[in-house]
Amino acid sequence: MEILPQSFADRQALIAHVKSLWMDAGGDEAMTQNVSPMEASPEALAARLDAVDPQAYARSRNFLNGKITKLSPYIRHGMVSLNHVRNLALDRAGRKADAEKLIQELAWREYWQLVRRDYPNWIWQDAEPYKTGYTARDYADDLPDDIARGETGVAAIDDIISILVSTGYLHNHLRMYLASYICHWRRVKWQAGARFMLGHLIDADAASNNLSWQWIASTYSRKPYIFNLENMQKYCGDTINTISRHNIPLDAGYDVLTSRLFPQMDPMANG
Amino acid sequence: MTDIIWIHDGALRADHPMFKDKADVKSVFIWDDAYFKSAAIGFKQQVFIYEALTHLPVEIIKGDTVSILKELAGNNGAIITAATTSVELNRMMALINQTHSVEAIADETFAHLKSSPDLRRFFRYWNKAKSSAMDYHGGTPDLFGR
């Protein structure tokens, strides 16, 4: 039995060690060019927990610079329990109702786990048909190379891919934008996009990730999720390039985008 | 008899309930490349997992999870681990369970559900879970000292 080392001179030495294991296993060297700045240490977790502010979270969580917890990598790996975070939220909230939005987001994590327990096939198979006017056969099986490289030519999307690849973490809104772009603007099967994102996220969890992709795709929801540039401009601040002329495919109203992306969709069919 | 605590990547903390009353039981994490590949766990996430392991009382062993755990447990040992809904981890637990006892210990309760919710939509679940989820320890009776 090969016992692996448990202590290292510093984080760089640990990263080099994991890289050697990755390469020995036949992994792609290109994937090792970045690691997340988020550390899996008790100190880093304690700092995240100290910063939990349920009221500010409820007010600002949709904005890229909002007071989100960034606890997902720690929750995903069981470094902290949902129970612990919920109890902390109740402690900090004052009024119970002030903690509801944060606790509801914790419940999403629990919910996806329960869905996977009861419907394990839905992790990679369509739970329901697409409601886009297309069938699964109309979607590409593989992720186009320009998406994997972050060179789609749509500046905001390329910025999101760059953040994903370089940090291993995305704000929830960015995950939704990217998933929607891949499924609906590029008409790629959600499975291909889900696998791409799993390969980069440090909080990658097949239940939360893949079932959320199905929700975006409409194979686990009543209608497809789409966004537009105006929505990005509202929530993204300066972190993402949302200049109109750099994002022409995204720059339209919802009615125009819906008819452009889903010309065969029956709007009445999805309620 | 050699019981073994198997720590997997969904339970990387020393106060997980699987450790309760098991202070003398050896803990291991199996660095299993085939598992990582099957679960689509990428390089950046592997760094995160390894870093977490450096802070835990655990021996990290490289190789095939099922065969190593069976070997460590010998003829009569049990495998104690954290319950999970991971398809890949549960598949390995089932293989081990063909020859050894596997105790999968649930994490602390988030919400008690009085009846099975309709899991096809989140809010049907939330409507049933909310009153419990909005209470300390999911409204569990005084098991935790508060």
- The domain of B56 spans 4-105
Number of separate helices (H) and strands (E) present in chain A: 13, 1
Contact check, Cβ <8 Å, B61/A2: yes
Domain extent for A82: 40-118
Instruction: Outline where DSSP puts E strands in chain B.
Output: 4-6, 26-31, 59-62, 79-82, 102-105
Residues on chain A touching B110 (C-beta within 8 angstroms): 81-83, 86, 106-107, 110
Burial group, residue B72, by CB count within 10 angstroms (0-12, 13-18, 19+)? buried
Nearest to A83 among B54, B87, B109 (CB): B109
Whole-number pLDDT of residue A154:
98
Domain count, chain A: 2
Nearest chain B Cα distance for residue A31, angstroms: 6
Identify whether A26 is part of a domain.
no
- Among B105, B121, B136, residue at a domain's last position: B105
pLDDT at A112: 97
Q: Which of A118, A148, A170 is the last residue of a domain?
A: A118
Amino acid in position A270: N
Q: Are residues A170 and A242 in the same domain?
A: yes
* Cβ contact B43–A119 (<8 Å): no
Asked if residue B1 has pLDDT above 70, the reply is no
CATH number assigned to the domain comprising residue B78: 3.40.50.620
Q: How confident is the model at residue B82 (pLDDT cuts 50, 70, 90)?
A: very high
A158 and A229 in a common domain: yes
- The verdict on A176 and A78 lying in the same domain is no
Instruction: Tell me: pLDDT of B146 over 60.
Output: no
B82 shares a domain with B13: yes
A153: left (phi over 0), alpha (psi -120 to 50) or beta: left
Partners of residue B85 in chain A, C-beta under 8 Å? 113-114, 116-117, 120, 207
- Among the partner residues B9, B41, B133, nearest to A107 by beta-carbon distance: B133
Band the pLDDT of B23: cuts 50, 70, 90. confident
Assigned domain for A200 exists: yes
CB–CB contact A83 B40 (8 Å): no
Please indicate, yes or no, whether residues B24 and B90 belong to a single structural domain of this protein: yes
DSSP state of A185: I
Q: Do A81 and B119 make contact, defined as CB atoms within 8 angstroms?
A: no
> What CA–CA distance (Å, rounded) separates B103 from B22?
12
Task: Taking residues B1-6, report their average pLDDT.
Answer: 91
Residues A203 and A98 in one domain: no
Is residue B88 located within the same domain as residue B50?
yes
Q: In what order do the strands lie in the sheet with B4-6?
A: A2-4, B59-62, B26-31, B4-6, B79-82, B102-105
Q: Report yes or no on A69 lying in a domain.
A: yes
If asked whether residues A74 and A157 sit together in one domain, one would say no
Task: Choose among A251, A247, A246: nearest CA to A228.
Answer: A251
- What is the dihedral sign for C-alpha A190, A194, A197, A203? positive
* Strand-strand pairing, A2-4 and B26-31: unpaired
Q: What is the pLDDT of residue A4?
A: 98
In this structure, is residue A239 part of a structural domain?
Answer: yes
B52 and B17 in one domain?
Answer: yes
> How high is the pLDDT of residue B20?
94
Whether A174 is covered by a domain: the verdict is: yes
Domain for residue A248, yes or no? yes
pLDDT (tens digit per residue) in B86-128: 999 999 999 999 999 999 999 999 999 878 888 988 999 999 9
Domain shared by B21 and B41, yes or no? yes
Angle at A21 between CA A15 and CA A26, to 5 degrees: 125
**What ipTM does this complex have?**
0.96
Task: Say whether both B22 and B92 belong to one domain.
Answer: yes
Residues A70 and A155 in one domain: no
Residues A158 and A255 placed together within one structural domain of the fold: yes
Model confidence pLDDT, tens digit, residues A81-135: 999 999 999 999 989 999 999 999 999 999 999 999 999 999 999 999 999 999 9
Shared-domain flag, residues A141 and A254: yes
In terms of domains, do B17 and B41 share one? Answer: yes
Residue A126 belongs to a domain: no
Residues B57 and B128 in one domain: no
Q: Is the pLDDT of residue B32 over 50?
A: yes
Q: What is the pLDDT of residue B144?
A: 47
Could you tell me if residue A270 is inside a domain? Answer: no
Q: What is the CATH number of the domain that holds A155?
A: 1.10.579.10
Asked whether residue A180 falls in the same domain as residue A152, the answer is: yes
| Amino acid (one-letter) located at A78 | G
Q: B46 and A84 in contact by Cβ < 8 A?
A: no
Contacts of A89 (CB under 8 A, 6+ apart): A52, A54, A99, A102, A103, A106
My answer on whether A147 and A204 are in the same domain is yes
Considering its fold, how many domains does chain B have in total? Answer: 2
Distance between B101 CA and the closest CA of chain A, angstroms? 21
- Tell me, what CATH number does A111's domain have? 1.25.40.80
User: Which among A28, A75, A108, A110 is the top mutation candidate for probing chain B, defined by the most B β-carbons within 10 Å of its own β-carbon?
Assistant: A110
> Do residue A166 and residue A70 come from a single domain?
no
Residues of chain A with pLDDT under 50: 271
Same domain, A111 and A172: no
Of A133, A1, A18, nearest in space to B48 by CA: A18
